[in-house]
Amino acid sequence: MDARLEDRAAIADLMTSWMHRDLGEWDQLRELFHPDATVEITWFEGSAGDFIDGSQRMGASDLRTKHLITSPAITFNGDRALVQTNAMIVAENTALDLGCNAHNRFWDRVEKRDGVWRIARRESSYDMSCFTFLGRVQEVDQETVRRYPREYAALAYLLERSGFHISREFPTRGSQLEADMKAAGTAWLNEYDD
């Protein structure tokens, strides 16, 4: 029997509870993070609290998102865990008549504090993305699309057109940025001492 079964179940529930973001359930979303948690994804870098505030602004805009989350792969060291979770981001902006699908992997540093597993740091690596057209096929600005890595170009374009700025390049599958993110996470995990 897996001695970590309860911990695995708690972390899997933590990952799938990301649906609170899609549903605009902000208080429940806050419960997923430790108070000092940070988030680094395409349109946001900073504290988890500021990320939730930004997500509320996004929820009030014409941009809508939904995350389809799989079961996580978890590596433990004491009360720390590295968690990698496949996700698909479905997004649409009805005012633009444009949407996208993007496949990513959340890369989370998760800690058990006071008996509760919560996210300490959320990052993401992007695998692929494509446009969807809601009512009519339309032209997209190819020059703008090509500013972003192919793996998340459609998502970045839709975010930018919806008013959510992309400030830098983010990890993609097999990239040096992904290798650096994983190495930093592994170092964090290995520095844990009971």
Ordered DSSP codes for 55-91: HHHHHTSSEEEEEEE-PPEEEEETTEEEEEEEEEEEE
Q: What is the pLDDT of residues 121-149, one digit of tens each?
A: 999 999 999 999 877 777 899 999 999 99
Residue 48 has pLDDT above 80, yes or no: yes
Q: Are strands 33-41 and 116-133 parallel, antiparallel or unpaired?
A: parallel
In this predicted structure, which of 20-24, 31-35, 106-110, 135-139 has the lowest mean pLDDT? 135-139
pLDDT at position 147, please?
Answer: 94
Q: Residues of 96-124 as b/e, b for ≥16 C-beta within 10 angstroms?
A: eebbbbbbbbbbbbbbbeeeebbbbbbbb
Residue 23 has pLDDT above 70, yes or no: yes
Give every CB contact of residue 142 below 8 A, 6+ residues apart in sequence.
none
Mean pLDDT of 170-188: 98
Residue 194 has pLDDT above 70, yes or no: no
* Other residues' Cβ atoms within 10 Å of the Cβ of residue 9: 12
Domain ranges of the chain: 5-190
pLDDT at position 193, please?
Answer: 73
Domain 5-190 classified CATH 1.10.10.10?
A: no
Q: What is the pLDDT of residues 72-126, one digit of tens each?
A: 999 999 999 999 999 999 999 989 999 999 999 999 999 999 999 999 999 999 9
C-alpha radius of gyration, the chain, whole number = 17
